Chain A
Amino acid sequence: MTQAAQGAVAPPTLTVRGLRKSFGAEEVLKGIDLTIARSELVFVLGPSGSGKSTMLRCCNRLEEPDAGEITLEGDPVTGPKVDLNRLRLRMGMVFQAFNLYPHLSALSNVTLALRKVRRLPRAKAEALGLAALDRVGLKAKAGSYPAQLSGGQQQRVAIARALALEPSVMLFDEPTSALDPELVGDVLAVMQDMKAQGMTMLVVSHEMKFARDAADRVIFMDAGRIVEEGSPEQIFEAPQHERTETFLARFSGRG
């Protein structure tokens, strides 16, 4: 392969190599390896305490990894000379509890980082903010405060807050777990739409139907390791590992 041809191959959007993390004496991540291609939706499953959230939070270093390497589009995320705040603009994160800023309107929630980190003038930031709210179907709620919105609407504003920064990858940590069942659909619809637009997504969730419909790959984690991965069909119809099987059986039994 020539140099030029090599250069033309785009690096994967996100790579994780040998990621380890302990809290005190408890090793929560015991060596995670993961590669996510551009526009891929990777769905992460696993029992409570298996380290799913910690893995996600290590990706944007909300949690500091003990060991391992992470890259975003070929750029190092771990390492000494990383401009973390710049990198975080390229990694959107959506939290289980939404974490909207209650003292700011929906639009100001979305424009805060545009103004303070990307340093855009107010008019430009607001135009981008409104466009992001429009993408999640909430342009009309721009002036509302979080307390005036339903849980589903709050989570969509939180998605817009991340989307407005035009990230290369979006990290979702159980985005629908805190929602009343009838509000889950709206949030999943927004995520489906993002997938259709080519967004790269790493999604920790228990929404199996969404995984079947939208995931390119499903990962099963247990006790700090990736136990098994494959297409949704492979994992749901023919899991190779007993632990995966038990987990899925318990889940389908529950609902």
Chain B
Amino acid sequence: MEAIVTQFFNIEIMVKALPLVLQGFGITLLICVVVIPLGLVGGLLAALASVSQNRALRWSAIAFVDLFRAVPPLVLLIFIYAGLPFAGLSLSPFAAVAIGFFLNNSAYFAEIFRAGLLSVHKGQTEAARSTGLTQTQALIHVVLPQATRNVLPDLMSNVVEVIKLTSLASVVSLGEMLHAAGLVRSLTYNASPLVLAAVIYLVMLWPVVRLISRFERRIAS
């Protein structure tokens, strides 16, 4: 029992680790701020393409989504960071993470947006078009607000997944939070910094998870 406390809940070590872990937390936040909007925009565009009338566009979008949903993000990240230099393209760790997550996130967000777009009845667009709105105006003012609202819990759950996935950035030595915590652990031979990182994740994500449950209940009722 005592061993667990000293190994995992050692306050002294946590306090020492805190500055480094917080620095890592800053980088985690930075990755999230870049990667989540990119993924949302990419996902929305891919979803729109996947329901378009244009066959070539539709199929490219579906191929893109299938491919990047099937490739494990860890492999994708290593490939972009360590593989592309062989093709003459060297990227900074941050750029590699941004691109890798953009591709992976877009594919997942696209599936969610696609379900949302398909959930809006065709009569909605027809009503809008019958009053003179263009296809784009009908999309912006009528279809997208409903589509987004219908899949809001799924979008938010995916955001939580993405935040947790940012820890993968450690494989390309980007010093995000888990990377920092792991570093302190290997210096101290003590797992407490990892627990500290977990607590910070929990504090950050718990409100979001609660919010999702509330939305889900509201939509169910």
Q: Which of B123, B131, B133 contacts A97 (CB 8 A)?
A: B123
Chain A residue total in the interface (Cβ 8 A): 25
Contacts of A100 in B (CB 8 A): 127
Let me know if B134 and A99 touch, CB within 8 A: no
Minimum CB–CB distance from A177 to chain B (whole Å) comes to 14
Let me know if A116 and B149 touch, CB within 8 A: no
Closest A residue to B143 by CB, please name it: A101
Let me know if B131 and A88 touch, CB within 8 A: yes
Q: How many Å lie between the Cα of A60 and that of B130 in the bound state? A: 7
Let me know if B131 and A162 touch, CB within 8 A: yes
Closest A residue to B129 by CB, please name it: A62
Quick check: is A42 within 8 A (CB to CB) of the other chain? Answer: no
Q: Which of B123, B132, B142, B146 contacts A88 (CB 8 A)?
A: B132
Let me know if A117 and B131 touch, CB within 8 A: yes
Quick check: is B145 within 8 A (CB to CB) of the other chain? Answer: yes
Contacts of B134 in A (CB 8 A): 85
Q: Which of A103, A112, A117 contacts B146 (CB 8 A)?
A: A103
With A112-B141, A116-B137, A116-B141 in contact, do A101 and B132 touch (Cβ < 8 Å)? no
Let me know if B133 and A112 touch, CB within 8 A: yes
Closest B residue to A110 by CB, please name it: B131
Quick check: is B161 within 8 A (CB to CB) of the other chain? Answer: no
Let me know if B132 and A95 touch, CB within 8 A: no
Let me know if B133 and A116 touch, CB within 8 A: yes
Q: How many Å lie between the Cα of A92 and that of B142 in the bound state? A: 18
Minimum CB–CB distance from A43 to chain B (whole Å) comes to 20
Chain B contact residues, majority secondary structure = helix
Minimum CB–CB distance from B148 to chain A (whole Å) comes to 10
Closest A residue to B123 by CB, please name it: A99
Quick check: is B23 within 8 A (CB to CB) of the other chain? Answer: no
Question: Which residue of B124, B126, B127, B133 has the most chain A CB atoms within 10 A of its CB atom?
Answer: B127
With A62-B126, A89-B131 in contact, do A102 and B137 touch (Cβ < 8 Å)? no
Contacts of A102 in B (CB 8 A): 146
Question: Which residue of A88, A100, A112 has the most chain B CB atoms within 10 A of its CB atom?
Answer: A112
Interface residue ranges of A88-110 to B (CB < 8 Å):
88-89, 91-93, 95, 97, 99-103
Quick check: is A161 within 8 A (CB to CB) of the other chain? Answer: yes
Q: How many Å lie between the Cα of A165 and that of B130 in the bound state? A: 11
Contacts of B22 in A (CB 8 A): none
Let me know if A99 and B127 touch, CB within 8 A: yes
Question: Which residue of B130, B134, B141 has the most chain A CB atoms within 10 A of its CB atom?
Answer: B130
Let me know if A99 and B126 touch, CB within 8 A: yes
Let me know if B129 and A113 touch, CB within 8 A: no
Contacts of B123 in A (CB 8 A): 95, 97, 99
With A103-B146, A112-B141 in contact, do A89 and B127 touch (Cβ < 8 Å)? no
Closest B residue to A164 by CB, please name it: B131
Minimum CB–CB distance from A96 to chain B (whole Å) comes to 9
Q: Which of A62, A85, A158 contacts B132 (CB 8 A)?
A: A85
Quick check: is A81 within 8 A (CB to CB) of the other chain? Answer: no
Contacts of A97 in B (CB 8 A): 121, 123
Minimum CB–CB distance from A240 to chain B (whole Å) comes to 34
Let me know if B131 and A101 touch, CB within 8 A: no
Closest A residue to B140 by CB, please name it: A116
Interface residue ranges of A106-126 to B (CB < 8 Å):
112-113, 116-118
Quick check: is B128 within 8 A (CB to CB) of the other chain? Answer: yes
Closest B residue to A167 by CB, please name it: B131
Contacts of A91 in B (CB 8 A): 130
Closest B residue to A114 by CB, please name it: B131
Minimum CB–CB distance from A230 to chain B (whole Å) comes to 29
Quick check: is A86 within 8 A (CB to CB) of the other chain? Answer: yes
Residues of A within 8 A of B (CB): 60, 62, 85-86, 88-89, 91-93, 95, 97, 99-103, 112-113, 116-118, 158, 161-162, 165
Across the A-B interface, the 7 shortest Cβ-Cβ residue pairs: A113-B131, A99-B127, A117-B132, A99-B123, A93-B130, A88-B132, A85-B132
Additional pairs, 11, CB under 8 Å, beyond known A62-B129, A93-B130, A95-B126: A85-B132, A88-B129, A92-B130, A93-B127, A97-B123, A100-B127, A101-B127, A103-B145, A117-B131, A118-B132, A161-B127
